Amino acid sequence: MPRISKPATKARRKKEDELRHATVLDAAEKVFQVEGYQTATAEKIAASAGVSVGTIYNLFGSKKRIYAGIISRIAQQMLDYVKDSILPIEDSALAIERLILFRLSNFERQRLFLVLFSCERSSGAYPDPETLSEKIRAQYGSYLDYVASIFERSPHKDASETRRALHLALSFEGVLNAFVGYWSGPGAHKQPVKARARYIKDAVMRMVELRRTGSDAESEATASEQRDIYITSFDLVRLKELITVARGFGAADAAVHLNELGTRLSCGKIVDPTLVPHDVLTMNSRFRLSGASGGEASVLCLVFPVDADKDPSNISVLDPLGTSLLGRRVGDTVEAHSPNGSRQYKILEILYQPESAGDYHR
């Protein structure tokens, strides 16, 4: 009987380890899709993979490392497909539609990767990508670059639109998630995936046109306004998604105001919620406001549109005054523009700020 050489034995064991590694990742991916990150356990992954819990820890060491391996693999497969099958398409509208179709067909699987860079990750339900690996954040950046490159050659773009290609890529993800969430609701009309892809593509292309229409208004923001705005990182993500949805469903006459809010977000000082100054007006802050020249003060609360009608004192961030107030500090004078003219206001006092109260996810 021929003797098996040590190199042959090592090669065989390496192949077995690689197969076992891939088997565990395949099983873990299904578990994470069903259970979510927090409730998935090594015991459930081991049972699904048909191996011992000890094998799981020997191969990966921790649940976080298993998750990192899964999403890095998903991300690389996304990048390879977009690079090889989407980017070569010269017609930008067709490329966007094919990208949407690809994302819809693999939405739940790819969500394991992309959820780390959405506002949902801020809830603490998923690990911070910074704690997983630098490669994962780099893969996300490459994905956004690929999507942005499609918008850069859009027939709707002008010279200034090229500079906003990254914002469009982020908005694209927001619109896609908004539609998927809407269609997942009870009583939602079921459509073939190709029909859904065309519907989202039309909304995305309208969004591109609205950005082009409002680009002049964006360029008129003053340097002083840009320096004075403070936005928490948590509010930033939620507000960007809000703008994306509003653009997708809004009318052309709303473009200028939405772009003004978008400009304030992109030009402001982004701070961690735990480090935001106590006198900065953030989302869901309650404050006293008066006319710049004095007079009776009003107590208001800056809220998201969904909460605007819940209390007479609530003012939506999509209201011209609400947009002007976002990120300002006590003592600042702001100006709100409306069809009836412009008026100045002064922030007198902040009565409640979620971040100061420790309510970071309100």
Q: Does domain 15-61 have CATH number 1.10.10.60?
A: yes
Do residues 263 and 215 touch, judged by C-beta distance below 8 A?
no
The DSSP secondary structure of 307-332, one letter per residue, reads: GTTSSTTEEETTSHHHHHHTT-BTT-
Do residues 169 and 144 touch, judged by C-beta distance below 8 A?
yes
Mean predicted confidence (pLDDT) in 192-209:
82
Q: Among 164-168, 200-204, 246-250, 256-260, where is mean pLDDT lowest?
A: 246-250
The reported pLDDT for the residue numbered 218 is 44
Kindly indicate the confidence band of residue 187, based on its pLDDT and cuts at 50, 70 and 90.
Answer: low
DSSP 3-state of 231: strand
Q: Where are the alpha helices (DSSP H) in 123-254?
A: 134-152, 159-163, 165-183, 193-213, 215-219, 223-228, 233-249
**Partners of 231 in beta bridges:** 270
Residue tagged 């509010």 (tokens):
235
Q: Cα(360)–Cα(362) distance, rounded to whole angstroms?
A: 6
Terminal Cα distance for the chain, rounded? 72
Q: 295-331: per-residue pLDDT in tens?
A: 788 999 999 888 888 999 999 888 888 888 988 899 8
Q: Which residues belong to CATH 1.10.10.60 in the chain?
A: 15-61
Q: Which residues belong to CATH 1.10.357 in the chain?
A: 68-213
* Domain 274-352 fold: Chitinase A; domain 3 (3.10.50)
Q: Is pLDDT above 90 for 71?
A: yes
3-state per-residue secondary structure call for 47-114: HHHCCCHHHHHHHCCCHHHHHHHHHHHHHHHHHHHHHHHHCCCCCHHHHHHHHHHHHHHCHHHHHHHH
**DSSP secondary structure letter of residue 119:** G
Q: Does domain 68-213 have CATH number 1.10.357?
A: yes
Q: Is pLDDT above 50 for 157?
A: no
Q: Write the CA distances from 206 to 2, 136, 179, 203, 210, integer angstroms.
A: 71, 31, 15, 5, 6
DSSP 3-state of 338: strand
* Rg (the chain; Cα; Å): 24
Q: Which residues belong to CATH 3.10.50.30 in the chain?
A: 274-352
Q: Which residue in 51, 18, 34 sits closest to 42, CA to CA?
A: 51
Kindly indicate the confidence band of residue 174, based on its pLDDT and cuts at 50, 70 and 90.
Answer: confident
Task: Give whichever of 95-104, 119-128, 162-171 has the largest mean pLDDT.
Answer: 95-104
